[in-house]
Structure 1
Amino acid sequence: MRNNFYKLPIRFDSIFDEKGGDMPMCSEIESIDQHIELLLTTCPGEHQFDKNFGCRIWDMDFERVVSRQKWEDDFKRYILEAIQKFEQRLRDVTVSIHIMEVVREDLIMKATAIKKKVIVQVNGKLASTNDRCGFKYTLFLGPLSAE
């Protein structure tokens, strides 16, 4: 697979150095992976040039959970909607999640927090080749953060 995509984070220093280097590139799969991770960790309204870019899971971060099943269904739906809207290189996308409670200790602040750890599995097919692919992300909720 050819590396025709810019690698994140974009490093402009390679363009401006004296050797006139190229910007780091990556494969289509790596580019999609990086883009979905950026999408999942961006709150709608946060992106300066597209206020709709991001994933609505941020709306759920401190939401009161009345029904765990409804919460999980909404969480998956928000991820699926964001990917379908902003990642056109994937087709037939499915999203599954696994939620667990974890204890995180902050040694500097001498505090312990219980957070929800959500493992997100995204599967689909590359639009360019019809090959199956999968991506895995780990998020911590309350407040939302990535591993």
Structure 2
Amino acid sequence: MSDQFYRKPLTLGAVFKGTDLAHVDAGKSISNHIQLIIFTRYGENRQNPEFGCEIWDLDFELIVSENLWEERFRKSLLRSISSHEHRIEEIEVEVKITEVENIFPLRKITEIKKKVDITIRALIKATGEKYYFNSSLFLSPLTT
């Protein structure tokens, strides 16, 4: 496996000018790949329909039990990262859902969103160093 990882977004103009693309370290490259897994729906990648995670199927689902929802999403994410990100091992995924309320007094609107906090801990195989990823997503807004 190559030890050169490229920064996203790719600046293809640099290639046409004959210069090299900007590089990032392994940790940043792994984070970029995990973000891609999170934001890809199963079946969206034609070459690999198993690439992605279940967040898109769960987004509009009525959340009866937050614990069951968190566990289902956590398992989906763990399965996808284990299958598609081979540079890390001993992967631990935590998912926590909370409600965030935004009040817009001038428009007399209250907006309630579900916020999903994702935390991933692992070890980078090549170096043995600890890897940490944290991100937050907002699910469908409910407005009154």
Q: Normalising by structure 2, what TM-score?
A: 0.85
Q: Could you tell which deviates more after superposition, 60-69 or 80-89? A: 60-69
Instruction: Find the counterpart in structure 2 of residue 29 from structure 1.
Output: 27
**SS class of match (2:49):** coil
Task: For residue 24 of structure 1, report the CA deviation from its aligned partner.
Answer: 1.2
User: Residues 12 and 48 from structure 1, CA distance in 2 versus in 1: closer, same or farther, beyond 3 angstroms?
Assistant: farther
**SS class of match (1:124):** strand
Whole-angstrom CA distance in 2 between matches of 1:50 and 1:8: 21
Whole-angstrom CA distance in 2 between matches of 1:95 and 1:104: 28
User: Residues 14 and 119 from structure 1, CA distance in 2 versus in 1: closer, same or farther, beyond 3 angstroms?
Assistant: same
Task: For residue 86 of structure 1, report the CA deviation from its aligned partner.
Answer: 0.8
Q: Is the 8 A contact 2:82 2:91 kept in 1?
A: yes
Q: Is the 8 A contact 2:71 2:95 kept in 1?
A: no
Whole-angstrom CA distance in 1 between matches of 2:125 and 2:57: 30
Alignment partner of 1:80 out of 78, 81, 96: 78
Q: How many residues align?
A: 137
Whole-angstrom CA distance in 2 between matches of 1:16 and 1:6: 16
**What is the CA deviation profile of residues 11-53 of structure 1, one whole-angstrom value per residue up to 9, with x for unaligned ones?**
2111012xx1111111000100111011101111222432221
Are 1:90 and 2:88 matched, yes or no?
A: yes
- Pairwise CA RMSD: 2.2
Instruction: Find the counterpart in structure 1 of residue 4 from structure 2.
Output: 4
Give structure 1 regions of 4+ aligned residues with deviation exceeding 6 angstroms.
none
User: Residues 98 and 67 from structure 1, CA distance in 2 versus in 1: closer, same or farther, beyond 3 angstroms?
Assistant: closer
Whole-angstrom CA distance in 2 between matches of 1:104 and 1:26: 36
Alignment partner of 2:139 out of 124, 129, 141: 141
Whole-angstrom CA distance in 1 between matches of 2:36 and 2:71: 21
Q: Normalising by structure 1, what TM-score?
A: 0.83
Amino acid corresponding to residue 76 of structure 1 in structure 2: R
**5+ long unaligned stretches in structure 1:** none
